[in-house]
Amino acid sequence: MASTFTSYAFVASISFVLWRIIRRFASNSTLSRLPGPPRESFLTGNFNQLFNVDGWKFHLDLVKNYGSASLVHLFAGDKMLYIIDPLALHHIFIKDQHIYEKSDQLLQLNEMTFGRSLLSTVGKDHRKQRKSLNPVFSLKHMRGLISTFYPIAHQVRDIIVQKVQKGECEIDVMEWMSRAALEYIAQGGLGHTFNALSEDDQDEFVTAINMIVPTEASLFMLRQLLPFINQFGSANFRRKLVEWTPSRRVQRAKYLIDVLDRTSRQIYDKKIDAIRQGDKATLDQIGSGKDILSILLRANLETPNEDRLAEDEILGQIGTFVFAGADTTTSALCHVLHLLAVNPGVQDKLRQEVTTARQDRGDLDYDDLMGLPFLDAVCRETLRVYPPVSMAVRTTLEDAVLPLLWPVKSSNGKEEFKEIPLRKGTDIMISILNANRSKAIWGEDAELWKPERWLTSSETTSDVRLPGVYGNMQVMTFIGGGHACIGFKFAELELKLALSILLETFIFSSGSQEVEWMMSMLQQPTVKDSEDKSPRLPLKLTLVKA
């Protein structure tokens, strides 16, 4: 049976490559005439450059050299539109968002990994889930979460104090920011703990979350075939096919997905039992029932049947919350701390602000914390210049015409395009990184990290707005429209609260090893010129003198 499956997989892979080649010749003519970089090779196109961990220059040069809309190539000559044009982004994320969705392959991969969640649904199903989830991420509930977050921040601070109390000490800051982010999302999001602040063996669920992306990335060809594979037989039959597949990587992916599913079920069942037992059982839980999952479950029970989320839809959100929230928040927090370490004047100014506020009021409530102007400026500017996720990819579900605010010249310079006709199935890469750094919006210093720009009445040099939910419609970090990051206020609270505690206690400075940032889909720090490219952020810490 394993040999037969391998043969089928080989035939399907060849068919997939042939289909991509045929698609190349059926692509629309306007897209073909857009300017863009030469292909690195016929087989891979610009794929390796687009998704390279050192891809900073390639991405920035795309806009500098070819403008706000350009042509890049994927496998076997397949074409992709690379874009940052504000009007085009408005159509992609808001006006015509039903036309521009995640690809079937990505949606099915997400459903296979997490279940029916925000990451794996579109259209009516996605709107139904958003309708149920939007209220639980309201400011009212964010204010309630702050009492859950402070003990985590205090514990992280106390652990690090033990490491640096004898004098300056170099530590991997990312390790502890990652652990903290996991506990914020575990306790604040799920009313659960992964014991991430313990230095004992890592929780099985956390290991699965950390390993699922690199494991699935190693199965690139099989991922492309998911839309075809999912048409054959029942879910049980397809699971048997996976069990029969003679591949360690496939079996590793199956194991990790099973861990996510099993742990999500355990968390869900525990929450349901507490709700059935009444208020006392709810209050005895981690977070005292103020966590996102508890609020969602209680609200869902009171929702009319036609709008109520099914059990599998709620289960799907559990892994989604952790996957979408932990690493991105870690990236943002590490980027702020690294920037403060190499900009001591900014660090001193921010420390003065948070220390003064905390001397007067102790642990700040939600509104006081959000009202600190320089803390807000530092966070906004970091999320603008260094968005944790650098890009988003969409696919056209039908033929469409994408209008442009900024017309672009053809590759031969003889034509000017004010709109781009796109055929069904066209892939589009939205560069969040380049959109956030647009000189047409932010001026000539757009690529510079300048928190003070947010302290003026007019942050930008243009009236042009991007369709993002963050930064007064000037930043695409959390994208926009119906697929905007639903937890961006949750992430903002984590970021600001952690910084307020850390900066009151520690001085951060550059360590003995130079840090560089890897790009790819998620920005992560590592040590420059080291063979070990694992994510880490070594910084020197000293205690603030009383």
At position 133, the amino acid (one-letter code) is L
Residue pair 533/526 in contact by the 8 Å Cβ criterion:
yes
**Could you tell me which of 526, 499, 163, 541 has the C-alpha nearest to residue 341?**
541
Q: Is 485 annotated as a binding residue?
A: yes
CA-to-CA distance for 114 and 391, rounded, in angstroms? 21
Residues 6+ apart with CB under 8 A from 213: none
C-alpha 71/C-alpha 239 separation (Å) is: 39
Identify how many contiguous H helices and E strands the chain contains and give both numbers: 24, 12
Alpha-carbon distance 213 to 208, whole Å? 9
Distance CA 283, CA 197 (A): 23
Q: Are 293 and 319 in contact (CB under 8 A)?
A: no
Question: With contact defined as beta carbons under 8 Å apart, do 293 and 271 qualify?
Answer: yes
Among the residues of 91-230, which ranges form H helices? Answer: 104-114, 123-133, 139-164, 173-183, 190, 204-217, 220-224, 226-229
Distance CA 394, CA 100 (A): 6
Strand-pairing partners, residue 331, are: none
Residue type, 459: E
Q: Coil, strand, or helix at residue 89? A: helix
8 A C-beta contact, residue 484 and residue 478: yes
> Are 82 and 36 contacting, i.e. CB atoms less than 8 angstroms apart?
yes
| C-alpha closest to that of 184 among 329, 339, 394, 305 | 329
Cα dihedral sign for 358, 368, 335, 260? positive
Binding site, residues?
Answer: 485
Q: Binding site membership for heme: which residues?
A: 485
